[in-house]
């Protein structure tokens, strides 16, 4: 079984953000959502603009666990959509 470790180095995260921002606004936003919520990519990819725009929270059922989850959209994420 493979284990995934989070990126802990803030400089590396900032480098990834800069690259994604230059290449793709969509991918940049997905990265920001992932960093701020800890959601799996399979759950993030299901999100639509209408699920996020002008909302204070993201509400979804996690694919893997089937559990409902609700996340506040923080100011870091709000700036990017």
Residues forming beta bridges with residue 58, ordered by sequence position: 71
pLDDT, tens digit (0-9, with 9 covering 90-100), for 35-52: 888 888 999 999 888 888
Give the Cα separation of 46 and 35 in Å (integer): 16
**Quick one: tokens of 60?**
């979804």
- The pLDDT of residue 21 is 94
- The pLDDT of residue 9 is 93
Q: Output the CA–CA distances (angstroms, integers) from residue 17 to 38, 40, 67, in the order listed.
A: 16, 18, 29
Give pTM, 2 decimals.
Answer: 0.72
Domain boundaries, the chain: 10-78
């Amino acid at each position: 079984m493979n284990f995934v470790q989070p990126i802990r180095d803030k400089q590396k995260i900032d480098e990834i953000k800069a690259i994604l921002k230059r290449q793709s606004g969509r991918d940049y936003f997905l990265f920001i959502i992932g960093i701020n919520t800890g959601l799996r990519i399979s759950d993030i990819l299901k999100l639509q603009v209408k699920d996020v725009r002008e909302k204070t929270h993201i509400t979804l059922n996690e694919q893997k666990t089937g559990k409902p989850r609700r996340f506040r959209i923080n100011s870091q994420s709000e700036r990017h959509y």
